[in-house]
Structure 1
Amino acid sequence: MNVAYWIVAALLAAFYLYAGGIKVLRTQEQLRPMMGWVDRIPMPVVRIVGTLEVLGAAGLVLPPLTGIAPWLAVAAATGLVLIQVGGIAVHVSRGEARMTGLNIALLAAAAAAAWLGTTWL
């Protein structure tokens, strides 16, 4: 289970580090071609979501790697599940229910990471 956790956590961390990083660093105009929803959400909220994604990525990797408060990895994975629930809600509210595939896959992967993380607590 430990190897499975690290595979899922590493993939999720890489994705969220990139996705969160661009939400934090890029302007609304730069994000719009990739994320049409940024027009409906205030940019400070987009920045907060990006920051939470970056922190979630760090939380998946750093606590178990250092051995300091490894339960934080489960909390980070749970937080990423909640971010995806919010993402699905935004897509559905915009009439883009068919575009929720990536959100569902990320939600499932984060839920798997949360479950796998409980095996070594």
Structure 2
Amino acid sequence: MNLALWIVAALLAFVFLLAGVVKLAVPREKLLAVRGAGWVENYSAAAVKLIGVLEVLAAVGLVLPAVLDLAPVLVPLAAVGVILLMVGAMIVHLRRRENAHLVANAVYLALAGFVAWGRFGPESFLG
């Protein structure tokens, strides 16, 4: 179980680090031209950058505290943050009727839920 939690947390961290860096590095205008990124038109450049920062922080929080053994309770808290990000993303995609994105959001939400459950519960770093 511990290995599965590490693998899922690392996978989520990779995905969210990549997504966050793209939002931070690519100008909003260029993101608008990317297929599947139509949601960007509903948000300011600052809001897109903020989402990118939150995604990078989530990625770091999913693995770094446990790797460094420095406040590892931050791992399940970061997973809860990913859950909240995915709930927000799902609401945006539902409003925009972008149903294809909901599947990916639901998968990330479920994976983050698994990490939160495992790290708060049976494989907690606290015990």
TM range (shorter): over 0.9
Query: What are the Cα deviations for residues 10-64 of structure 1, in whole angstroms up to 9, with x where unaligned?
Result: 1000000000110011011221214111011111111111100000000011111
| Identical residues among aligned pairs (%) | 43
Amino acid at match of 1:106: Y
User: Unaligned regions of 5+ residues in structure 1, if any?
Assistant: none
Query: What are the Cα deviations for residues 75-116 of structure 1, in whole angstroms up to 9, with x where unaligned?
Result: 100000000000000001112234311101111111111112
Partner residue of 1:62? 64
Distance 1:5 1:39 in 2: 35
Alignment partner of 1:23 is 2:23:
yes
Structure 1 segment 1-121 matched on structure 2, within 5 A: 1-32=1-32, 33-34=34-35, 35-118=37-120, 119-120=123-124, 121=126
How far off its partner does 1:66 sit?
A: 1.0
Distance 2:92 2:112 in 1: 19
User: Unaligned regions of 5+ residues in structure 2, if any?
Assistant: none
Q: Is the 8 A contact 1:8 1:113 kept in 2?
A: yes
Q: Is the 8 A contact 2:61 2:75 kept in 1?
A: yes
Task: Count how many residue pairs are aligned between Structure 1 and Structure 2.
Answer: 121
Alignment TM-score, normalising by the size of structure 2: 0.90
Amino acid at match of 2:6: W
Distance 1:29 1:42 in 2: 10
RMSD of aligned alpha carbons: 1.1
Q: Is the 8 A contact 1:4 1:116 kept in 2?
A: no
How far off its partner does 1:67 sit?
A: 1.0
